[in-house]
Structure 1
């Protein structure tokens, strides 16, 4: 039997006992989740390329090189998929992917990738909950998750959401069932995107400020003690 768990349990995962304070969301949080768009292929690719060999193998079920990742990234943000990015201090450090399997989009496959330095901090739970909320909001009835048997982190996240693991050959398969969106799932995704907009505005202001002040900083440096000595 595949894993069957409730979308409500997934929504509550962010409040798990072992989640650390740096995962808490808020208007000034250093961690936020938002959807990646088609023009952000390079951003997504850089994240995948930072994954070391073993993390790549656990994510894709096999050892893959940068050439494969480049081809994968080109297709990942297409019309038949939805990718939520985990940003830590403005840098993409994790991704949760939802790939639609049917024309009616009522079934989808889920996948996760988190850079090793940011694992073990509750980010997997956070991404899992966001992926489930996004699926519900788009009418997905079933999400299938498959990982290697040795991918203990992914199995632990599924189990934490009340799932029963199903082992078949070298893989572990999960099926998550919930037929409809509700106010909570809609509010969660809206909050994610609103928070991301605030961060984007802050980052843009920072870039503009650096653009105007950098020439002045270089000019000031040219009058420093080193310049005077010459």
Structure 2
């Protein structure tokens, strides 16, 4: 076994974070043993703050005593450090570039729009929901296409980054009161979500549904309260 594999791996995260969850999925898919440290985001550990002094956020992966912050950076690091087991990126340079493009689309470009959908009300929320649905249709048509997974027959980096849509998003839909990911509106993306959740490594590493719903309900209440305070 190489020194890279033998070096101690730790992950600082929090159970309700899809960003922590995507790192857990990657580690599990590659069969990497690690220690998980649950962080209280209201009272962050001194260790976490020292590991990520810039953003002071989770997740942080610590490998051989060296910290790596930001989930996308961590995922790339995991792939480069342990490339043999369940590759997360294609071997072909063009296909790798294409995968990274879709990772960027699903991970970064929709955040503000999604927050308006999840934390909004009335016409603002309805407009955001309509716009977000169109974004999801673009991802379905041009990113997923007719494939079982974004990675083809096996889940890859794009699937992992989209994974929150399969589990976290349906709970968010319940809390927000507007459903978007339905068989009638996004049939291929809906089927992908069901297939993704059915992968044993994914299915066995999902947060408790009822606990997640309570957590997200509180988050929405806070967002609504903040919006009300800002508009008063």
**TM-score in terms of structure 2 length:** 0.30
- TM-score, length basis structure 1: 0.30
- Larger radius of gyration, structure 1 or 2? 1
Larger RCO, structure (CA 8 Å, separation 6 or more): 1
Indicate the structure with greater helix content. Answer: 2
The structure that is strand-richer by fraction is 1
